[in-house]
Structure 1
Amino acid sequence: MYVDDILLKGNSHGTIENTVEQLYKQFSLKDLGSPVYFLGIKVQSIVNGIFINQKKYTLDLLAQTNMMNSQPTLIPMAVGKKLAKNDDPRESHWVAVKRIFHYLRGTLDHRLVFTTGKIMNLTAYTDADWGSDVDDRRSISGHCVLLGPNIISWSSKKQRFVSRSTAEVKIKSLADKASEIIWL
């Protein structure tokens, strides 16, 4: 048995129906109709797109960690940086993790909007710093990819290597992102 999920949205009902028909010719499908939740994400249709959020998932997470009544904050922290410390966790690390839960509590109603448009160019931005981690001198690189006005891919992570210059780290970061864009 093979299971996968797909969500289709478009301006033309006919185009969507044609796409679904083509998929039916190639695969065994089950059409569940318009989604309310898709892979744990709430989906709300609007005239020219959709809103998505993970409020229910976040509330469940806050309840499981007894952080439901935590003081919300709207200032995000570097999540990857705070959670990168696996060995010998200390109280300061738990404080940092709790700060992330406070941020989640303060952003419960935030959502992403995906809209349709006539111009749907693929645009990518990438950046990297040089040796920002004082412990191991590895750099942090990040990117975001947009399809029209919609963000479809993003990342921020510590690089696996130590670079010798700003130019080197930025070129390596750009090469990584270029390979992802080709895949997209």
Structure 2
Amino acid sequence: MKDELSTIEKNSTWELVDLPYGKKTIGLKWVYKVKYSDDGLIQKHKARLVAKGYSQQPGVDFSETYAHVARMETIHDLIYFGTNKAMVAEFKNQMMKEFEMTDLGLIKYFLGIQVKQSPGRIFLSQEKYIEDLFKKFNMSQCKPLSTPMALNENFQVNDDGEKADSTTAKRILRYLKGTKTQGIEFKKESECKLVGYTDSDWVGSIDDRKSISGYIFCLGSNVISWSSRKQKFVALSSAEVEYIACTNAACEAV
């Protein structure tokens, strides 16, 4: 509880003010949770202080329908617009209404990612981070692979195959070995058009009969958002799988 209060104060989550005339305070509630490790042991105790939102009235106590969260897709948007000078002025005018922005100038590394900048082009690469991983797990001489997973395989808990070594995830490291010079490129373009694609794999998980959804979104030719994950519900047909995948993609587009 002390950690939670300390975080709230550190992040300036709220400020104390006099209660406006005719308004009622919204109560708070402590929510406790025990987090367990994979072997069933208690890993940590968590406490969260939350507002009793059910006592609020739309248009009276609040106008937003969701909490603002910084997402990686937003960072990709910022980088994309940063490479297109023609859009920067309009973009800044919109963003400055809600956010404070600071020009960091020319940077070489950001959050462990190598950044290469040139006029109208930004290239993000994690080569340095990958090399450190190879040294840590003694796999600098491993053979490279072009995919992080075996192709054309359905998910299954017990498939009588050899158990994977979860402590090293060797195949993923071998994939990184083969793609360490690759990265994400954001380049200058004349058109800012959002385009999305979606696909699905019916009954991709044999054990629970759930399917896999995937989507990818681009601004121009610059990829800004992507996902591939198991659907929450069991679809009864391949057509239903496609509808669920399209719905997920539509929500991301919005």
Whether the 8 Å contact between 2:83 and 2:122 is mirrored in structure 1 is: no
2:108 aligned with 1:108: no
Q: Does 1:156 align with 2:238?
A: no
| Equivalent pair of 1:41/1:54 in contact (CA under 8 Å) | yes
2:82 match: 9
* TM-align CA RMSD: 3.5
- Contact 1:82/1:97, CA 8 A, preserved across alignment: no
**Could you tell me whether the CA contact under 8 Å between 2:155 and 2:204 is conserved in 1?**
no
- TM-score of the pair, normalised by structure 1: 0.77
- Distance across 1 between alignment mates of 2:206 and 2:154: 14
Correspondence for 2:238 among 147, 158, 166: 166
Judging changes above 3 Å, is the alpha-carbon distance between structure 1 residues 177 and 54 closer, same or farther for their aligned structure 2 residues? same
Report the Cα distance in structure 2 between the residues aligned to 1:119 and 1:12, rounded to whole angstroms.
Answer: 12
Residues 49, 115 of structure 1: 8 Å contact kept: yes
Counterpart secondary structure, 1:172? helix
**Is the Cα contact below 8 Å between 2:192 and 2:219 reproduced in 1?**
yes
CA displacement at 1:15 relative to structure 2? 4.1
CA distance 1:33–1:46, change in 2 (3 Å): closer
Deviation readout 1:119-152 (Å, 9 max, x if unpaired): 2210000011111222221111111001100110
Larger RCO, structures 1/2 (Cα 8 Å, 6+ apart): 1
CA contact (8 A) 2:123 2:183 kept: yes
Is residue 2:97 matched to residue 1:45? no
The equivalent residue for 1:94 is 165
CA separation of 1:30 and 1:83: change in aligned 2, threshold 3 A: farther
Aligned length: 176
Alignment gaps of 5+ in structure 1: none
Opposite residue 169 of structure 2, the aligned amino acid is: V
In the alignment, which residue of structure 2 is the partner of 1:35? 107
Superposition deviation, residue 107 in structure 1: 1.2
Instruction: Name the structure with the higher helix share.
Output: 1
Question: Which structure has the bigger radius of gyration?
Answer: 2
Q: Tell me which moved more, 67-76 or 128-137.
A: 67-76
Question: Aligned residue for 1:19?
Answer: 92
Q: What amino acid is the match of 1:19?
A: K
Q: Which runs of 5+ in 2 are unaligned?
A: 1-9, 12-69
Tell me how far 1:84 sits from its aligned partner.
Answer: 9.2
Q: TM-score, normalised by structure 2?
A: 0.58
Which residue, out of 132, 138, 157, partners 1:60? Answer: 132
The worse-fitting range, judged by mean Cα deviation, of 94-103 and 160-169 is 94-103
